[in-house]
Structure 1
Amino acid sequence: MIRYDALDALPVRSALPGLDDALEGHGTAVLVAPPGTGKTTLVPLALSGLLGDRPGRRVVVAEPRRIAARAAARRMAWLLGEKTGESVGYTVRGERVVGRHTRVEVVTTGVLLQRLQRDQELAGVDVVVLDECHERHLDADTVAAFLWDVRETLRPELRLVAASATTDAQGWAGLLGGAPVVEARGAAHPVDVVWAPPVRPVRPPHGMRVDPALLAHVASVVRRALAERDGDVLCFLPGVGEIARVAGQLGGLDGVEVLQVHGRAPAAVQDAVLAPGERRRVVLATSVAESSLTVPGVRVVVDSGLAREPRVDHARGLSALTTVRASQAAGRQRAGRAGREAPGAVYRCWAEAEDARLPRYPSPEIKVADLTAFALQVACWGDPDASGLALLDMPPGGAMAAARDVLAAVGAVDAVGRATERGVVLARSGLHPRLGRALVDSVPVVGAETAAEVVALLSEEAPREYGDDLAGALRRARRGGDAYSSRWRSEVRRLRAVVSEISHPPTRNRPQDAGVGALADSPEERQVGFVAALAFPERVARSDGGSYLMVSGTRAEVGDGSALRGVPWLAVAVADRPVGKGHARVQLGAVVDEDVARLAAGALLQERDEVRWDGGDVVARRVERLGAVELAVRALRDADPGLVRGALLDGLRREGFGLLRWSPEAVVLRQRLAFLRLHLGEPWPDVCDDALHARVEEWLEPELGRARRRADLARIDAGEALARLLPWASGEAGRLDELAPERMTVPSGSSIRIDYARPEQPVLAVKLQEMFGLQESPRVAGVPLLVHLLSPAGRPAAVTADLASFWRDGYKGVRAELRGRYPKHPWPEDPAGAEPTRHTNARLRR
């Protein structure tokens, strides 16, 4: 019997006529309805015609999480007075409760994505409701883009509804071709906001770390809320670890039941949370309780203000969740849980002044997450770069490039990014492409059972108490006895079914047959490591100086006391980077050996000649390497001349042209050319290091071509080579001595060397008496020389670029100072008119 009393009480009922009009007139709509108004339950029932007042339609409702999908289906079935699997059913990964007469099916977005890849027309479905689209999960965005593509190209009659309590309504409306926005105002109960920041400052979250002081504060706020308010308390925390910690701090509450709900909680616990309790309850939950779920009895929400979002380091190939401040939209969703059934209150564990600085919406996963699975999905859809898809945010180019590299390595896409037959198989496995590859390729080697068991273990993070040894964690999961092992066994069964569907998977990029037989008969630890290495070939690592070097080039460390410590080879399945550390930290890995490493990461195996400048000379060797890991090295006697030349050039770039032989004449030539380039420009060559490197073929060949090592460079006459850059073709080279002479004849008749070390103004250092009679400073190429006038002993007496001015103003002081010290030298009163000399007065008189 339909529970009309409960249905009539849902405020979204008032929006149904507008929603019908939008779908009839436009085919798409955006439904904005506050939490608790019935958008997840009443709307699908109304659209399907199950309430008896509309034509019968088949409706699919897509939810972002399994717990929400099951809960929504059960709630709708209850409203109809039925059991799930009759008029209303659900399908989540590993579980399907659907009957012949099912008209409303609630699925996760991941399931709907798989269904669209198998049947793009979505035959038999009349309406799709994308619930909680504000959360911007990658699967949800992808499903929305695919559905719009289907409606535009194949099924214009397919109706689409994007529904959420807090969302960018206009953005979604534009995405769905200008869809009408239908709002259900509802009659939400008032929720008081209580600001409850910590008394003392707490450290901001970093990575997965949350300051224990904040968690202790959250626990104290829960106790305060229990004392100040009636009803059950729903407390939002970022993750399972934080939930367990706060639960431990709430022990001993009299008459209060503490429940923990998250995506990995047992179904029985999830069901208990969604049913009225006999005692007062504190429900500790992750963001799974933000949307689509009504936890009965809740009148108070305690919000830690934290959430988890995916992040990926594309350079290192390490991805993980990170703790962030929850968005304003998430805060509104969470607060709304307190006002679903009656007036309530939300205790926010941060200062009111901070609230305006929080992000408006959560970060779209497409902007921050690993896009490997997304890239495979769009490749299978026929749009490898996603340029033709209707997406609120386009995927970042760097993230897509990294994703395509991974897909190419496992043979899922071809050279232009199109999905291969193998890629289609991997996409349909319902696994991340890495894990799909591990499952498909390991079955012929280790058998379907072991392959399914290990891949299931890699699909969901195991509890920390399982340890960091993958083989040990597998034994622990098999023993059972906890919620994780129960979920693990369900996933193993699902994966065995997947394997049975893939009777003859494509063989491209599968491990070579060599060594497979030996591996099949090897100990289980080696087989486990092989499966892990197939999933993460670039994370195969060899012990190297106290840490492990992955074939990707990233270094990783194993914790003290780990069973993995000291083994020669590892396959790293899970790693993170601790705060302030340069190396990754192994959180889950498996022991392998070199044969397994070669087999699993064979695509990264190569042997090549390496000739490079290292340690101050050319090093030539033949190296067999697995990515960044060197397996074998031997000296190379007959290295390719081109590689040698490249190494020599690298040495010159690193250590400079001082590696060549620079005679004094060569040094002066470079200085003279630098002077002419500065003051006259073309055609005189630029001889700075960068310019010489750019024209190395013009001036350093063929000497460089004959060199094989550092000692050969030291025999190259730099001056002779540099002369090749002179402007011979224009004839200007012949004017070098005219424009920038090495020496200059001074009034005394002496030939004095010009110092071009400072090309801005060369220096002429000459004894003062030899310049008598010269009225103006000497010049080269029109530039006045800086004259260093020396005493008879060769010491600087004066410096001038204006000799006439010096004779007139500066000479008197120099004469007064020096003539007593050097009485045998001439010190005339009129130097500009005196006779220049290199001799003393006594010699002149003789």
Structure 2
Amino acid sequence: MIRYDALDALPVREALPGLTDALDAHGTAVLVAPPGTGKTTLVPPALAGLLGDGPARRVVVAEPRRIAARAAARRMAWLLGERVGGSVGFTVRGERAVGRHTRVEVVTTGVLLQRLQRDQELSGVDVVVLDECHERHLDADTAAAFLWDVRETLRPELRLVAASATTDAEGWARLLGDAPVVQARGAAFPVDVVWAPPSRAVRPPHGTRVDPALLTHVASVVRRALAERDGDVLVFLPGVGEISRVAGQLGGLGDVDVLQVHGRAPAAVQDAVLSAGERRRVVLATSVAESSLTVPGVRVVVDSGLAREPRVDHARGLSALTTVRASRAAGLQRAGRAGREAPGAVYRCWAEAEDARLPRFPSPEIKVADLTAFALQAACWGDPDASGLALLDPPPGGAMAAARSVLTAIGAVGPDGRAGERGARLARLGLHPRLGRALLDAAPVVGPDLAAEVVALISEEPPREYGDDLTAALRTARHGGDAYAARWRKEVGRLRGLVSEPTRPSPPAPADRSGTRAVAVRPPGRAAGGGAPDTPAPGSPRPAADGNGGAGTPVPDAPRGSGGGTAVSRTAEGPRPSRGDGAGFRPVAGGGEDGRVGLVVALAFPERVARAEGGSYLMVGGTRAEVGAGSRLRGAEWLAVAVADRPVGRGHARVQLGGVVDEAVARVAAGALLEHREEVGWGDGDVVARRVERLGAVEVAVRAYADADPSLVRDALLDGLRREGLGLLRWPAGAVVLRQRLAFLHGRLGAPWPDVSDEALHARVTEWLEPELGRARRRADLARIDAGQALARLLPWASGEAVRLDELAPERITVPSGSEIRIDYSAPERPVLAVKLQEMFGLQESPRVAGVPLLVHLLSPAGRPAAVTADLASFWRDGYRGVRAELRGRYPKHPWPEDPATAEPTRHTNARLRR
């Protein structure tokens, strides 16, 4: 019997006429309804005609999380006075409750995507409601784009509703063809805001690490809230680890139960949280409890202010969930949980002044997540670059390019980016494409059972207590009695069935009716309601989109090359494209179960195959990683890394989960990245020529060879000159002086006199050094090249100015005594003439070169500087007397006339002059 009293109490009922009119007129609508108004539980049965006031329709409701889908279905069934599986049912991964008479089916957005790929028309479905679209999960955005495409091209009668409590209503309205926006009034009771920042500063989150001091503070705020307020307390924390730590600090609460709700919790535990309890409760939850769920009895919310979002580090080739500050929209959603049933309070564990600086909305997943699964969905849909999809935010070009590179490497798409049968099968698996590749390609080699077990193990990162060795973790899961092991065994069964599913051919895509893009026909499969597997959000594998847990996301990037950047290389045999179909794999010899487990991981993450090198492991993708001191993985020559993170303050990644493999497994798994190269480079102070077999950044085999290509040798020598300097050439005194003279003229006169700085000489090396460089093969040959002779080629011979070199910058100059004195050009701004003082007698002006007065160092008879001047006349007049007084007694045999300006210059002593 329908519970009309409960239905009538839901405020969204007043918005139903407006929503119905909008759908009748436009076929699309955006419903904005605050938390607690009943949009999730009243609107779908009303649209389905289950409340007796409308035509009978079949409605599909898409929720972002499994727990929300189950809870929404059960709540609607209760309101209708039925059991789940009657008029209202649900389908999530691994669980289905749908009957012949089901009119409202609640599914996850992953299930909806699977159905759309199998049956674009969604046969038999009249209305699709996309709930909680404000969360901007990638699979929800993708489903919305596909549904709009279906409505525009195949089924204009299909009705679409985007529903949320806090969202960009105008953006969604534009996306759905200028759909009307229907507002429902709020039903929430008033919620007091209590600002409860920590008493001392805490470190900001880094990766998945949260300052323990903040968690201790959250636990203390929970105790405070229990003392100050009535009712149950709902606590928002970013992940499972934080929930566990706070739960440990809340021991001894007496008659208060501490419960944990997150995507990894067993269904029975999740359902128990959603039922009223007899004792007072503290419910520790991730963002799974932000929306779609009403936890009965909650009057208080304690908000840590943190959330988990996916991020991709393309430079390191690692992808993971990371802890961020929750958005203001999330804060409103969380606070609203306290006012669902009565007035309540929210304790916010940050200062009021910080609130205005928080982001308005959470980051759209399409901007920050790994897009490999999204790119495969788009390719299977017939739009490889997603340019024709109606998306609120376009996918970043770099992330899409990286995703296409991965899909090409695993054989999911062809050169044109379109998906073939293998791509379609990978999309049907309900796994990230990397894990799907591992499942399909490993099963014929290691057996379907082991392939399914390992893929299930790495699709949801096991608890840390399972250790970092995959083989040991697998044995623990097989015999474990914990909640993770139970979920793992269920997923193994699902995957085992998928890997044995027969391959079905895909019909060709029809002609493009719009003239711009083809809409692909899906391969035949189960009926739309046939229990399709729940696809993780694109950018997975990771825990369900409740932001809890670790860094098990696959790397999205192609390898970064050989690293170092110093070698000049020629590819003799480039990367061999993977067949991507498992063909040609040979059974792994030796290694036992370790080797077979490692092969599955390596097939999923070929860029994370790693070899021991210098105390750490170098991954094929170029990232370095370390293993823990007590790890069983230590000492292995080769590893396949499934999960890695980067600890705070560490330069290398840290292996969280991996398997031991050998070189044979590495070659099989990362075979598409295998290169045979001839490398000629400058290393260890000389030219090094070697033939290298390389898996991405990892050298597998190296041997020297002598018949290197002369052009590569030349480039290596140039690299050596750049790295170690032009001092590798032979620089006799004349060459040094010539370079100094040219530098002076370039600085003084500019063109056509050449710039002879190191940078300029490297830039023009082919003009002055090429003939000698072409004959050189090693460092010793460079040392035989006369740099002066080579530099002479840069003189301005063509203009005829070269003949003026000795005129403008003479190497020597004749002084009044008749001596020819060498000019020092080592300081190009002001060349220096060092000459004995007596040899300059009678000269009134300082000598000049290229119009620049020389800086004259006047020397004593012993050759030591007595004075420095650029103005001889001034020195004779003002400075000479002091020098004469000081040196006359010390050098009495040399002339010291009273008037040097008129004295006879000499390079001899008085006795010599008298003779």
Length-normalised TM-score, structure 2:
0.88
- Report the equivalent of 1:227: 227
Q: Does 1:633 align with 2:706?
A: no
Which of 769, 778, 789 aligns to 2:838? It is: 769
Q: CA deviation at 1:256?
A: 2.7
Matched AA of 1:611: V
Contact 2:411–2:581 (CA under 8 A) maintained in structure 1: no
Hey, what's the Cα distance between the residues in 2 that align with 1:43 and 1:497?
36
Hey, what's the Cα distance between the residues in 2 that align with 1:200 and 1:679?
63
Q: CA deviation at 1:153?
A: 4.0
Contact 1:137–1:365 (CA under 8 A) maintained in structure 2: yes
- Assess, with a 3 A threshold, how the Cα gap between structure 1 residues 414 and 723 changes in structure 2: closer, same or farther: farther
Contact 1:511–1:600 (CA under 8 A) maintained in structure 2: no
Using the aligned pairs only, state the percent identity.
84
Matched AA of 1:142: T
Q: CA deviation at 1:714?
A: 0.5
Q: CA deviation at 1:291?
A: 0.5
**1:67-78 pair list within 5 angstroms:** 67-78=67-78
- Assess, with a 3 A threshold, how the Cα gap between structure 1 residues 19 and 834 changes in structure 2: closer, same or farther: farther
Q: Does 1:730 align with 2:799?
A: yes
Matched AA of 1:843: R
Q: Deviations over 1:410-442 (max 9, x none)?
A: 223344544444333322221111101101111
Q: Does 1:666 align with 2:740?
A: no
Hey, what's the Cα distance between the residues in 2 that align with 1:681 and 1:388?
57
- Report the equivalent of 1:408: 408
Q: Does 1:642 align with 2:711?
A: yes
Contact 2:121–2:155 (CA under 8 A) maintained in structure 1: yes
- Report the equivalent of 1:271: 271
Q: CA deviation at 1:513?
A: 5.7
Q: CA deviation at 1:317?
A: 1.6
Matched AA of 1:148: W
Q: Deviations over 1:288-336 (max 9, x none)?
A: 0111001112112222222212222212222222222222211111111
- Report the equivalent of 1:676: 745
Hey, what's the Cα distance between the residues in 2 that align with 1:385 and 1:652?
45
Q: CA deviation at 1:573?
A: 0.8
- Assess, with a 3 A threshold, how the Cα gap between structure 1 residues 379 and 733 changes in structure 2: closer, same or farther: farther
Q: Does 1:488 align with 2:488?
A: yes
Contact 1:440–1:505 (CA under 8 A) maintained in structure 2: no
- Assess, with a 3 A threshold, how the Cα gap between structure 1 residues 55 and 808 changes in structure 2: closer, same or farther: farther
- Assess, with a 3 A threshold, how the Cα gap between structure 1 residues 411 and 779 changes in structure 2: closer, same or farther: farther
Contact 2:591–2:662 (CA under 8 A) maintained in structure 1: no
Contact 2:438–2:455 (CA under 8 A) maintained in structure 1: yes
Q: Does 1:610 align with 2:669?
A: no
- Report the equivalent of 1:509: 579
- Assess, with a 3 A threshold, how the Cα gap between structure 1 residues 508 and 96 changes in structure 2: closer, same or farther: farther
Q: Deviations over 1:578-636 (max 9, x none)?
A: 11222222211112111111111111222222222111112222222222222222221
Hey, what's the Cα distance between the residues in 1 that align with 2:136 and 2:811?
74
Matched AA of 1:190: P
Which of 860, 884, 888 aligns to 1:791? It is: 860
- Assess, with a 3 A threshold, how the Cα gap between structure 1 residues 125 and 505 changes in structure 2: closer, same or farther: closer
Contact 2:130–2:140 (CA under 8 A) maintained in structure 1: yes
Matched AA of 1:702: P
Select between 731-740 and 509-518 the one with higher mean Cα deviation: 509-518
Q: Deviations over 1:320-358 (max 9, x none)?
A: 222222222111111111111111122222333332332
- Report the equivalent of 2:870: 801
- Report the equivalent of 1:760: 829
Q: Deviations over 1:165-195 (max 9, x none)?
A: 1222233333334333222122311112222
Hey, what's the Cα distance between the residues in 2 that align with 1:387 and 1:783?
66
Matched AA of 2:246: V
- Assess, with a 3 A threshold, how the Cα gap between structure 1 residues 719 and 54 changes in structure 2: closer, same or farther: same
Hey, what's the Cα distance between the residues in 1 that align with 2:888 and 2:156?
108
Tell me the SS of whatever aligns to 1:761: coil
Q: CA deviation at 1:752?
A: 1.4
Hey, what's the Cα distance between the residues in 1 that align with 2:606 and 2:874?
79
Contact 1:422–1:505 (CA under 8 A) maintained in structure 2: no
Contact 1:511–1:599 (CA under 8 A) maintained in structure 2: no
Contact 1:511–1:602 (CA under 8 A) maintained in structure 2: no
- Assess, with a 3 A threshold, how the Cα gap between structure 1 residues 378 and 810 changes in structure 2: closer, same or farther: farther
Select between 353-362 and 279-288 the one with higher mean Cα deviation: 353-362
Contact 2:195–2:349 (CA under 8 A) maintained in structure 1: yes
Contact 1:62–1:128 (CA under 8 A) maintained in structure 2: yes
**1:104-119 pair list within 5 angstroms:** 104-119=104-119
- Report the equivalent of 1:47: 47
- Report the equivalent of 1:712: 781
- Assess, with a 3 A threshold, how the Cα gap between structure 1 residues 617 and 241 changes in structure 2: closer, same or farther: same
- Assess, with a 3 A threshold, how the Cα gap between structure 1 residues 707 and 324 changes in structure 2: closer, same or farther: same
- Report the equivalent of 2:358: 358
| Larger helix proportion of the pair | 1
- Assess, with a 3 A threshold, how the Cα gap between structure 1 residues 483 and 669 changes in structure 2: closer, same or farther: same
Hey, what's the Cα distance between the residues in 2 that align with 1:773 and 1:382?
95
Select between 815-824 and 431-440 the one with higher mean Cα deviation: 815-824
Q: Does 1:331 align with 2:331?
A: yes
- Assess, with a 3 A threshold, how the Cα gap between structure 1 residues 655 and 80 changes in structure 2: closer, same or farther: same
Tell me the SS of whatever aligns to 1:501: coil
**1:515-594 pair list within 5 angstroms:** 516-518=586-588, 523-594=592-663
Matched AA of 1:391: L
- Report the equivalent of 2:100: 100
Matched AA of 2:674: L
Matched AA of 1:789: L
Matched AA of 1:748: S
Tell me the SS of whatever aligns to 2:690: strand
Q: CA deviation at 1:840?
A: 3.1
Matched AA of 2:767: E
Contact 2:618–2:624 (CA under 8 A) maintained in structure 1: yes
Hey, what's the Cα distance between the residues in 2 that align with 1:80 and 1:606?
64
- Assess, with a 3 A threshold, how the Cα gap between structure 1 residues 11 and 715 changes in structure 2: closer, same or farther: same
Q: CA deviation at 1:738?
A: 1.8
Q: Deviations over 1:534-565 (max 9, x none)?
A: 01111112233433222223222222332222
- Report the equivalent of 1:217: 217
Hey, what's the Cα distance between the residues in 2 that align with 1:512 and 1:285?
42
Contact 2:187–2:340 (CA under 8 A) maintained in structure 1: no
Contact 1:310–1:369 (CA under 8 A) maintained in structure 2: yes
Hey, what's the Cα distance between the residues in 1 that align with 2:878 and 2:170?
83
- Report the equivalent of 2:62: 62
Select between 749-758 and 369-378 the one with higher mean Cα deviation: 369-378
- Assess, with a 3 A threshold, how the Cα gap between structure 1 residues 452 and 626 changes in structure 2: closer, same or farther: same
- Assess, with a 3 A threshold, how the Cα gap between structure 1 residues 687 and 389 changes in structure 2: closer, same or farther: farther
Q: Deviations over 1:242-287 (max 9, x none)?
A: 2222223333433333221110111111111112223222221111
**1:167-566 pair list within 5 angstroms:** 167-415=167-415, 417-503=417-503, 509-510=579-580, 516-518=586-588, 523-566=592-635
Matched AA of 1:262: H
Contact 2:585–2:668 (CA under 8 A) maintained in structure 1: yes
CA RMSD of superposed structures (Å) = 2.4
Q: CA deviation at 1:218?
A: 2.3
Select between 751-760 and 211-220 the one with higher mean Cα deviation: 211-220
Contact 1:445–1:517 (CA under 8 A) maintained in structure 2: yes
Hey, what's the Cα distance between the residues in 2 that align with 1:235 and 1:191?
15
- Report the equivalent of 1:7: 7
Hey, what's the Cα distance between the residues in 2 that align with 1:730 and 1:119?
78
- Assess, with a 3 A threshold, how the Cα gap between structure 1 residues 30 and 812 changes in structure 2: closer, same or farther: farther
In structure 2, runs of 5+ residues without a counterpart are 507-576
Tell me the SS of whatever aligns to 1:163: strand
Tell me the SS of whatever aligns to 1:560: coil
Q: CA deviation at 1:734?
A: 1.9
Hey, what's the Cα distance between the residues in 2 that align with 1:670 and 1:425?
69
- Report the equivalent of 1:131: 131
Q: CA deviation at 1:76?
A: 1.5
Select between 178-187 and 116-125 the one with higher mean Cα deviation: 116-125
Q: Does 1:838 align with 2:907?
A: yes
